[in-house]
Amino acid sequence: MGSLSFFAKAPSNIALIKYMGKKDSSRNLPENSSLSMTLDRLCTYAEITRAATGSDVQWIAELPRHEAAKNLTVPQLSDNGRAKVLRHVQRSREAATDILTAFGLAADSSAFAGGWELRSANTFPQGSGIASSASSFAAVTLASILACAKDPSAFCAMWERDPALRAALARLARLGSGSACRSLDGPFVLWSGEDVEVVKSGLPSLAHFVVLVSATEKKVSSSNAHLAVKTSPLWNGRASRAEERVAAVRAAIAQGDLAKIARISWNESWEMHSLFHTCAEPFTYWEPKTVEILQGLSPYIAEKSPPIVTLDAGPNIHVIVESAYQDEWEKRLRGFGVPVLRDGPGRGAQPLFQQKGAP
Ligand code: PMV
């Protein structure tokens, strides 16, 4: 048997009200609150192993050695991407003792001396157009803290039981990538300043689709987009409009008012993309097919049980509908002639401690 391994899995999330614009980029503090739906199957799996030698954290471009990760895809990380994630693992390791002790959990002193290996993989293929930063930073944060717990089983029990522990790790994950803080819990998560909170839902069962217009790497990184939007004349008043929308969507989720959420989300994603289209050096994530699909979907937004239609910083279109209508919606979306991925709302990140360790 090899050295001990610690696994975690975390899903991606899709924002209904967007995080776009930072107040403090060193701590990823947003200009406005945002509200998202955590997904279920579009996930990252991460493995932390205590290495036999060394003292730093190393990226191993291999599948995590967990049975659930057998058929997944190892991401190809750029030098920058790799450095960013390894820095975050180190940051998580340094924060672990304070977080664990705040929840009455002991830290394992042997976790801090030696080297660590990180392996991670996604349930979605590289270049599938699904952004992996939220799911990967959430998974890596959780695996790192789990790896520092003296009693990983006690940590897992506390994870299930105490939303404050999940919120504490969300604060840490945010330092790696802002939107990652909304992937620790679910399904509806409100992020405001340093804090995240699960929003009570009165909605019916939902299904989620991604209409994959393009799978190519985005031309403008989200870090650059966060800066660029502030040069748009439409930036004026953006934060207060977003706060009003967060409050309205939060209430509509509690009341189960899908029509209201669909209307507000539609306006919100048009606003975010309008910011991109009108900044000092305008850019777009859209492809001709994006516009065609948005045109095709627009008549449904005013219906009684409308789809929630939204876009991330990319050309792909996310559609959330009542599960009762998911088959007809899937058929309709496939009619646009591009691949469609199917998912649904999820509960957030899960530690997957395996006592037996790496082979
Ligand atoms: O977490 P970041 O810095 O990659 O920003 C993500 C921003 C959007 O995905 C465009 C919106 C959001 O709230 O997720």
Mutate to test the pocket of ligand 1, among 28, 222, 274 (most ligand atoms within 8 A of CB): 222
Which pLDDT score is estimated for 354? 65
Which pLDDT score is estimated for 355? 53
Helix (H, G, I), strand (E, B) or coil at 197: strand
In 10 A of CB 143, how many CB atoms?
Answer: 32
Parts of the chain with a pLDDT under 70: 1-2, 127-129, 354-359
Give φ, ψ of 44 to 5 degrees: -110, 135
Which pLDDT score is estimated for 120? 97
**Is 93:50 a contact under the CB 8 Å cutoff?**
no
Is the bond leading into 306 cis (omega within 30 degrees of zero)?
Answer: no
**Is 6:143 a contact under the CB 8 Å cutoff?**
yes
Which run of H or E residues covers position 241?
Answer: helix 238-255
Mutate to test the pocket of ligand 1, among 12, 13, 14, 19 (most ligand atoms within 8 A of CB): 19
Which pLDDT score is estimated for 53? 83
Residue 5 CA to ligand 1 centre (angstroms)? 30
User: Rounded to an integer, what distance in angstroms lies between the CA atom of residue 197 and that of residue 30?
Assistant: 15
User: Rounded to an integer, what distance in angstroms lies between the CA atom of residue 319 and that of residue 335?
Assistant: 14
Which pLDDT score is estimated for 20? 98
Type of residue found at 147: A
Best CA proximity match to 7, nearest among 356, 355, 353: 353
Residue 20 CA to ligand 1 centre (angstroms)? 7
Question: In residues, how long is the chain?
Answer: 359
- Could you read off the pLDDT of 303-338 as tens digits, one per residue? 988 999 999 999 999 999 999 999 999 999 999 999
Residue 14 CA to ligand 1 centre (angstroms)? 9
In 10 A of CB 101, how many CB atoms?
Answer: 11
> Is the CB–ligand 1 distance for residue 312 below 6 Å?
yes
> Is the CB–ligand 1 distance for residue 133 below 6 Å?
yes
Which pLDDT score is estimated for 129? 67
The predicted model scores a pTM of 0.96
What residues have CB less than 8 Å from 214, skipping those under 6 apart?
A: 129, 287, 289, 314, 315, 316
In the chain, how long is the greatest CA-to-CA distance?
61
Which pLDDT score is estimated for 2? 55
**Is 45:69 a contact under the CB 8 Å cutoff?**
yes
Q: Output the DSSP codes for 62-94.
A: S--SSGGGTT-B-----HHHHHHHHHHHHHHHH
Which pLDDT score is estimated for 358? 46
Which pLDDT score is estimated for 148? 97
In this structure, are strands 34-50 and 350-351 parallel, antiparallel, or unpaired? unpaired
